[in-house]
Each structure stands twice: as C-alpha cells, then as structure tokens.
Amino acid sequence: PRELGLNEVLSGMETTLRRILGDRIELSILHGDRLGKVKADLSQVEQVLVNLSMRARDAMPAGGKLVVETANADLDDAYARRHLFVRPGPYVMVAISDTGEGLDAEAQAQLFEPFAGSKDSEKGLDLSSVYGIVKQSEGYIWVHSEPGGGTTFKIYLPRMDGEAAVRPMPAERLRGSETVLVVEDEAVVLDILREVLSGHGYTVLTAANGEEGLRVLSSHPGPIHLLLTDVVMPMMAGPDLSDRAAALRPETRTLYISGYTEHTVIRHGVSRRGAGFLQKPFTPETVARKVREVLDASKAP
C-alpha cells in the first residue's frame, strides 16, 4: 500500500472505464475539492472501480448514466454507533452511481456474497472481492438502491491528512431560533437530528413519514421556516412533500437528506430552486452548518 490521490487514480482510469461501459452509457467523473490522500494498493483500488463499473454496465443493458464522484467525509461517533465495526474519523468517499434497474432489500443483503447472482457467476464478476479489498484497506462499503431507482455504492477509505473538507463556521453562527420540521422514516436518524438541532437553539417538530409531515405542515399554528426531509420514504417521497409544503407555506425552505449522492437524487426530482442537499452520513456540525446556510440564503436579497 502507498499514498494515493483518488482524483488522480480516476483521471488515469477514465479511458479504461469508458471502454468498459461502451457507447450507450454516459460516464461522468466528479472530483472532490481539496481531497485528502488514502493509503491503499493502486492495483486493488483499480480492480474495485473496474468491477463496480462492470456491474453498473450490466445493470443498464439499454444504456444509462454512471457517475463516479469523490469527496472528503467525516464519520462521527453517532454514525459509528449505528453501523457495527465502523471507526469514527476522517475518510475519503468514492461513490459509484448508476441509473439501472436497482435492487430490492434481499438482493442488497446478498450482494457481497461470493457469486451472488448467476449472471455474475457467468461473467466472473464477484463483488465479494470488492468487499474484501475495501476491508483490507480498513475501509467500508455500502449500497443504496431501490427497484427502478438505480444503485449507488459508497466506499469510505481512511483519510491520511485528516484535513476538514470545509472550513468550519464559527460555533456562534451555527445556532438559530427558527422552527424546523424534520421528516425521516429512520427512527435513529430522526432522534439524532432532533437532538442536534434543538441543541443549537432551534424549535424542532418531527414526523416519521411524509403523510405525518403533511399533517404537521397543515396544523402547526406557528411558522415553519425549514422542512428537513429524507428523499426516499414510504407513503410520500421528500420531493412530493416539498411540493405540498410550498403550496401550504410558500415561505418554508427545503433541505433534503439522503444516503444517495446529490447528483444521483436529482433524478428523484430534487432540483428545485432554493432547496439544499445534505448527504448521509453527516456530523452534527455539518447538519448545523447546512441548516444555517439554507435559512440564511432565504433571507438574502
């Protein structure tokens, strides 16, 4: 293993990846700013990217789009408590997102087993090797997918330099007194967001799904300055809830959260003017900073 810059690795692999994907699949590579270094074996990192690109190609037989993007990420103690064996700290994330068929929960659970599918077996494409390489590099890999909604693989490798991805905002500027409605179907995440925002001075309303959130929007007697909602939820998706909120309360801003990357969730309708986006996992400071940014932007002339 040696020190690697994943932006440089991707630039060097672009021709190879385009050849793997063929003419019917559009490839976009998005380089994260001020990306930290990782310590890993170059050939193994290349193998991971090749295998995941091949898997994406096979998931899009009629063509589509593949987005590969990098970013600095910080996994905090709260995130580590929700994910067994995760060590909190600074990481570099690589996300590989396709517009293919998507996977149900059962397929996701078996994805990293040796030759999980017959098609994979026939092609010699074994994602258990991807999992093994990532773990050997002391990293983590997760998949976010839904039938018909495409698939995103997110890989986290320990960041060597430990630099923050964004210059921190002074603590006093992270606080606020506005009212925020948090809509999230994952109870643990909902509790964390409530705790973080109330700890920064906000009045926090909560709902476990879109329909419950709509009832709060309709019945709450005071102003609701911000709707903080997950994108993909049962019963009512985040963008649909945002549309309903705009009709009921035009002054309410929206901040979306999702395990998918920002470029991936755009196809879910998350491209509305004035809406912010926050990618999971996030730290308390990241949440507070993004909430403040969206609220302050609404006050700008």
In a domain, 97, yes or no: yes
Opening angle at CA 299, ends 293 and 301, nearest 5: 120
Nearest to 36 by CA among 87, 91, 96, 74: 91
Residue whose C-alpha is closest to residue 287's, from 89, 129, 74: 74
Which amino acid is located at 245 in the chain? A
Q: Do the beta carbons of residue 287 and residue 204 sit within 8 Å?
A: no
Residue with tokens 């996030």: 282
Do 150 and 22 belong together in one domain? yes
CATH number of the domain to which 239 belongs: 3.40.50.2300
**61-79 burial code (b ≥16 CB/10 A, e <16):** eeebbbbbbbbbbbbbebb
Per-residue pLDDT tens digits for 237-295: 888 999 999 999 999 999 999 877 766 665 555 555 567 888 877 778 889 989 999 99
Q: How much is the pLDDT for 74? A: 87
- Predicted confidence at residue 145, as pLDDT, reads 87
Q: How far is CA 176 from CA 53, 191, 196, in A?
A: 43, 19, 12
Q: Copy the structure tokens of residue 154.
A: 């997110």
Structural domain tally of the chain?
Answer: 2
pLDDT of residue 277: 87
Per-residue model confidence (pLDDT) at position 261: 74
Between helix 187-199 and helix 284-299 the angle, nearest 10°, is 60
Q: Which of 101, 128, 158 is the last residue of a domain?
A: 158
Whether the model clears a pTM of 0.85, i.e. scores above it, the answer is no
Count how many Cα atoms sit within 13 Å of the Cα of residue 246 in the half-sphere of its side chain: 13
Question: Is residue 161 a contact partner of residue 36, using CB atoms and an 8 Å limit?
Answer: yes
Last residue of a domain, one of 94, 128, 158: 158
Are 213 and 145 found together in one domain?
no
Question: With left for phi above 0 and alpha for psi between -120 and 50, is residue 171 left, alpha or beta?
Answer: alpha
Q: Residue 242: inside a domain, yes or no?
A: yes
pLDDT tens, residue order, the chain (301 aa): 889 999 999 999 999 999 999 999 999 999 999 999 999 999 899 989 999 999 999 999 999 999 999 999 988 777 777 766 788 889 999 999 999 988 888 888 888 876 544 444 334 356 888 999 999 999 999 898 888 888 999 999 999 965 544 455 556 678 999 999 999 998 888 988 999 999 999 999 999 999 999 999 999 999 999 999 998 888 888 889 999 999 999 999 999 998 777 666 655 555 555 678 888 777 788 899 899 999 988 765 5
Q: Are residues 221 and 106 in the same domain?
A: no
Other beta carbons within 10 angstroms of residue 37's beta carbon come to 18
Whether residue 17 sits in one domain with residue 149 = yes
C-alpha–C-alpha distance, residues 69 and 84, integer Å: 25
Print the domain residue range for 52: 2-158
The span from the CA of 131 to the CA of 112, in Å, is: 6
Are 152 and 35 in a shared domain?
yes
Question: Own/partner pairs for 115-124, CB < 8 Å, 24+ apart?
Answer: 119/58, 120/55, 123/54, 123/58
At residue 281, the pLDDT reads 76
Query: Looking at residue 269, what is its pLDDT?
Result: 56
Residue 49 shares a structural domain with residue 120: yes
